[in-house]
Amino acid sequence: MLNLNKLELTFNNYNLEKNVHLYRQGGLNIAYDVNSGSLHLLDDKTYSFLTELSELQKEDPALLKNSEKLLNTAGSNLRADEKKEIIQELAELQKANILFSCEAEEVNPDYPERPLIKAMCLHIAHDCNLRCRYCFAETGSFGGSRGLMDLETGKKAIDFLLQNSGDRPSCEVDFFGGEPLMNFSVIRELVIYGRQKAEELGKKIKYTLTTNAVLLNDTVAEYLEQEGISVVLSLDGRPEINDKMRPFANGKGSYDRIIDNILKFIAKRPNTSRYAIGKYYYVRGTYTHYNPDFYKEVLHLADLGINRISLEPVVAPLEQSYALQPEDLAKINQSYDILAEKVLEYAHKGNEFTFFHFNAGLDDGPCLPKRLSGCGAGHEYVAISPEGDIYPCHQFVGQEKYKLGSLDDSPLVLPEDMVQAFRQANIYAKEDCRICWARFSCGGGCHAANVAYSGELTKVYPFGCEIQKKRLEIAYYLKIKEAQRIKKIC
């Protein structure tokens, strides 16, 4: 038996499964230390040893409190000197607090009494020139009547944002729809108005626009370029896939109409940030039950020279024919695995592209308070309907239960109970999140997806969690591959 006191490795009341994620990806054995955000590569023997420790803790909860017995039980297949070496290395990393690091104290983010709004999704048009079958906006109308936001409502919305942004120097406005370019004249007026009002207060507004690119002609493209507006362009991938889900009202597919607009536009932004910082573009699509092999869509886009790509799982009730089903998960995971290797292969060939959900901030990522506050919907981020109604985010628009008020209310104060409900719906309020290794990376999942699935803000959407965890595993894997590549060059 080893003298474990000398080795100084201890796991008393330390839940390994919760705090260290062990997995294999691309032939590598990876350990992600949840509380420090550190990444380690393990040899096969260490990987097996750690996996065994974690399994033993699960099988016999008494071992959670008996570190010495746990360490002596595991690793029976190792030679004594090997086991000692491994434990010594593990102990050094524990001492440095980068493996088996101390659990972060469960402290809720410190919010001001009144909510500080810093970002707004402006539903400039509840109308659309496409009839996308999966549209959560119900093809643009969000369950209401079709209509465009008028200039006065838009101005009130910007006033509301600036007046409620406290001392934040920078605010964000996203022109969203429906299809926002159907109301381009109002967008132009609001950009001028917002800039002027922000300047008067010593602030800045960062604008983004989400468009299906149907109306993205040369004039509009030049305008967006000149004004430094970031753009998210919707496109699902190969023509037959895109056209099946994204037709015009007459049923004709949209691919041929938009592809040249998109390619011409992105050519203006060759150095766009992979982390969506500054003036950027991303081409964003949706995958459904019809294409769990969606890696083909991503590669189609990459082969066209599009190098900032985001493809997301559809959000839809299970009874819809295009909704993702539990049996799709294996194929979805396989797609992500293939995509991981393709990202590396394309980079090696000099055709680098970024898949948005393979981005990961670890040592350079968000602080813990930000990770806990998640997307900020309902207290830092709101959406405004064309009529001036206020909702927690774009996905809640039209859901009366979640309406936060109207820009015409006087006084205009967001309801305290709703603000608190969204503030408190963080990972510590969600039973499944508190013990999950991905808890500091996903923000506890999307509120709207959680509500759609469970009816509650604090109960997660498990299928979404599985996809999120897979994307994170690959994001960390690619971090390691990148580090190895740099080391090789140096």
Element (H, E) at 325: none
Least Å distance, CB 410 to other proteins, is 27
For other proteins, the closer CB: 295 or 396: 396
Cβ proximity to other proteins, 52 vs 89, nearer residue: 89
Strand partners, 20: 33
Going by C-alpha positions, the residue among 281, 300, 311 that lies closest to residue 346 is 300
User: DSSP per residue over 336-374, as a string?
Assistant: HHHHHHHHHHHHHHT---EEGGG---STTS--HHHHHHT
Q: How far is the CB of 362 from other proteins (least distance, A)?
A: 5
Cβ-based nearer residue to other proteins, 89 or 432: 89
Question: Tokens standing for 360?
Answer: 């990961």
Q: Which is nearer to other proteins, 152 or 456 (CB)?
A: 456
Cβ 38 to other proteins shortest distance, Å:
5
**Alpha helices for 254-404 (secondary structure H):** 255-266, 295-303, 329-349, 368-373
Q: Which lies closer to other proteins via its Cβ, residue 104 or residue 150?
A: 104
Tell me the C-alpha distance between 462 and 293, whole Å. 21
Residue number, 71 or 90, with CB nearest to other proteins:
90
Which residue's CB is nearer to other proteins, number 305 or number 408?
Answer: 305
CB of 250 to other proteins, least distance (A): 26
Task: Please state the closest distance from residue 462 (CB atom) to other proteins, in A.
Answer: 14
Q: Residue 62 Cβ, how far from other proteins at the closest point, in Å? A: 27
**Rounded CA gap, 322 and 398, in Å?**
22
CB of 48: closest distance to other proteins in angstroms? 11
Which residue lies nearer to other proteins by CB, 80 or 107?
107
Q: Which of 289, 268, 248, 282 is nearest to 130 (CA)?
A: 248
From the CB of residue 395, how many other CB atoms can be counted at a distance below 10 Å?
Answer: 22
Quote the CA–CA distance of 33 and 23 in Å, as a whole number. 12
For residue 252, the minimal CB distance to other proteins (Å) is 25
Asked if 397 and 385 touch (Cβ cutoff 8 Å), the reply is: yes
| Residue among 447, 379, 426, 439 nearest 109 (CA) | 426
Q: Is 489 helix (H, G, I), strand (E, B) or coil?
A: helix
